[in-house]
């Protein structure tokens, strides 16, 4: 089997690196022959201790550039599995005289389903990440009482807060800090020289994530820093209702992302509104923050056609955007879990694992159903329960105000 996807190589060998910004992977190829693993990478990046561990596990280190000669010298009658969607044309050309078996990499699905140990680490890392975000937001609120803060400065402050947490490795992507109209730019990245100045008024969208040794995070919150308009509250509440609908879903085994996606859009659709991106993507375990194959999306691509299985970690992030004015997105990560079994087969559900308060200042409470209110209040009780023990008194008081029931 020829492996070319960096995240698959890192996951299979339980190794991580810093060759790619925000993604803890390293430049490599790998070939598995049924008994031995040949790892093609820069040997100078591997210390003697790790080299000994790898060799003791029948993993042999070869120079990165030697992959071409290695493949050309393989016996032509030897069957070799190649994932065409992840392999360069150049490598496929080297193997065109060989006995190629074209197929999907089996690692993709194995990596997507987190085991019990990984799931427990994910729950733990969400506590650390929630505390880090809380401290960054408190810093922003306090600083805005006496000066403006640039979007880029707040992004740096969030990264700094995370860096103080045990096991921190780096950001999982460049933070999206969208103030006012910049929040309507879905993948906006603030620049130090041109980013907007945040003032204690208007809408602020913050999408950020961290890489830790025990997990990867990705959280989005939208806040109003003063008094929202009726239109802003309506749009925000519709997005929140969609988020809650997906979070509360119970569905039969084999249900696909395209089937679940409409739950997050239904409230917007009823008012002839929509958003132009997928509702969610898979997330790795101390790995790429965007991880195939599952997700929530309104199209027949890989994310739409993959069934959600217990152990998969996925983002739940519906949104709504008014160009030139503001953007709204609410994102938590959810773990797929078994929900039970009946004569109709097995059913699954989602466990929300992200721990950070959702802004209630923007909610039009009268639009919320009793079940939606209960979900939100229960979620805030959970946030208090897990973050509270790790906070100083003033931090806990801040969190209590943000988690007041509606």
Q: Domains (ranges, CATH) in the chain?
A: 2-105 (3.40.350.10), 112-402 (3.90.230.10)
pLDDT of residue 342: 98
Mark out the alpha helices in 57-115 (DSSP H runs).
67-72, 89-94, 107-112
Nearest to 133 by CA among 190, 192, 208: 208
Asked whether residue 326 carries a pLDDT value surpassing 90, the answer given is yes
Q: How confident is the model at residue 312 (pLDDT cuts 50, 70, 90)?
A: very high
Q: Residues 81-105: what's their mean pLDDT?
A: 94
CB environment 17-56: b (16+ within 10 A), e (fewer): beeeebbbbbebbbbbeeeebbbbbeeeebeeeeeeebee
67 token code pair: 């992959």
**Three-class SS state of 124:** helix
33 token code pair: 């022959």
CB environment 236-257: b (16+ within 10 A), e (fewer): bbbbbbbbbbbbebebebebbb
Tell me which H or E stretch contains 303.
helix 302-305
Q: Classify residue 175 as exposed, middle or buried by CB count within 10 Å of its CB (0-12, 13-18, 19+).
A: buried
pLDDT of residue 233: 98
pLDDT of residue 362: 98
The answer to whether the CB of 390 falls within 8 A of the CB of 164 is no
pLDDT of residue 34: 86
Q: How many CB atoms lie within 10 A of CB 205?
A: 26
Q: Taking all residues of the chain, what is their mean pLDDT, rounded to a whole number? A: 97
Q: Residues 206-220: what's their mean pLDDT?
A: 98
**Alpha-carbon distance values, 265 to 10, 239, 271, 277, 370 (Å):** 35, 8, 10, 11, 19
234 token code pair: 């309506």
Asked whether residue 90 carries a pLDDT value surpassing 90, the answer given is yes
**Tens digits of per-residue pLDDT, 18-57?**
999 999 999 999 999 988 999 999 999 999 999 999 999 9
Q: Residues 11-21: what's their mean pLDDT?
A: 97
Percent of the chain at pLDDT > 90 equals 98
| Helix 151-163 with 116-143: angle, nearest 10 deg | 130
**Rounded Cα distance, 123 and 31, in Å:** 34
Does the pTM exceed 0.95? Answer: yes
Asked whether residue 359 carries a pLDDT value surpassing 90, the answer given is yes
**Rounded Cα distance, 11 and 282, in Å:** 15
pLDDT of residue 70: 96
**Tens digits of per-residue pLDDT, 140-185?**
999 999 999 999 999 999 999 999 999 999 999 999 999 999 999 9
Q: Residues 2-9: what's their mean pLDDT?
A: 98
Q: What is the CA radius of gyration of the chain?
A: 23
**Tens digits of per-residue pLDDT, 260-287?**
999 999 999 999 999 999 999 999 999 9
**Three-class SS state of 149:** strand
């Amino acid at each position: 089997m020829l492996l070319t996807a960096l995240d698959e190589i890192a996951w299979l060998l339980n190794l991580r690196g810093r060759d790619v910004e925000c993604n803890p992977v390293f430049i490599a190829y790998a070939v598995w022959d049924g008994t031995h693993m040949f790892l093609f990478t820069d040997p100078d990046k591997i210390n003697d201790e790790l080299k000994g561990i790898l060799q003791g596990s029948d993993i042999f280190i070869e120079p990165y550039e030697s992959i071409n000669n290695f493949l050309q010298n393989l016996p032509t009658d030897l069957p070799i599995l190649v994932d065409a969607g992840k392999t360069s044309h150049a490598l496929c050309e080297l193997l065109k005289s060989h006995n190629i078996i074209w197929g999907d990499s089996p690692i993709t699905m194995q990596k997507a389903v987190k085991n019990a140990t990984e799931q427990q680490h994910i729950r733990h890392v969400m506590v650390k990440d929630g505390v880090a975000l809380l401290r960054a937001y408190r810093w922003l609120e306090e600083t805005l009482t006496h000066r403006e803060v640039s979007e880029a400065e707040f992004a740096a402050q969030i990264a700094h807060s995370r860096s103080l947490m045990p096991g921190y490795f780096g950001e999982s992507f460049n933070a999206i800090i969208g103030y006012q109209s910049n929040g309507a730019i879905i993948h906006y990245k603030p620049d130090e020289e041109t980013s907007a100045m945040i003032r204690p008024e208007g809408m602020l969208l913050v999408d950020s994530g961290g890489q830790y040794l025990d997990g990867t995070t990705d959280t989005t919150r939208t806040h109003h820093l003063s008094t929202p308009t009726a239109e802003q509250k309506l749009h925000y509440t519709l997005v929140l209702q969609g988020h809650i609908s997906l979070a509360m879903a119970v569905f039969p085994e084999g249900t696909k992302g395209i089937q679940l996606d409409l739950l997050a859009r239904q409230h917007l659709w009823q008012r002839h509104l929509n958003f132009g991106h997928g509702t969610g993507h898979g997330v790795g375990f101390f790995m790429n923050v965007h991880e195939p194959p599952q997700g929530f999306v309104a199209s027949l691509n890989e994310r739409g056609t993959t069934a959600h299985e217990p152990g998969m970690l996925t983002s739940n992030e519906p949104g709504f955007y008014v160009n030139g004015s503001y953007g709204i997105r609410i994102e938590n990560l959810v773990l797929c879990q078994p929900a039970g079994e009946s004569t109709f087969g097995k059913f699954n559900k989602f466990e929300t694992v992200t721990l950070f308060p959702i802004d209630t200042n923007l909610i039009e409470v009268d639009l919320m159903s009793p079940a939606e209110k209960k979900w939100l209040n229960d979620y805030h009780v959970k946030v208090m329960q897990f973050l509270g023990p790790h906070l100083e008194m003033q931090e806990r008081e801040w969190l209590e105000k943000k988690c007041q029931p509606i």
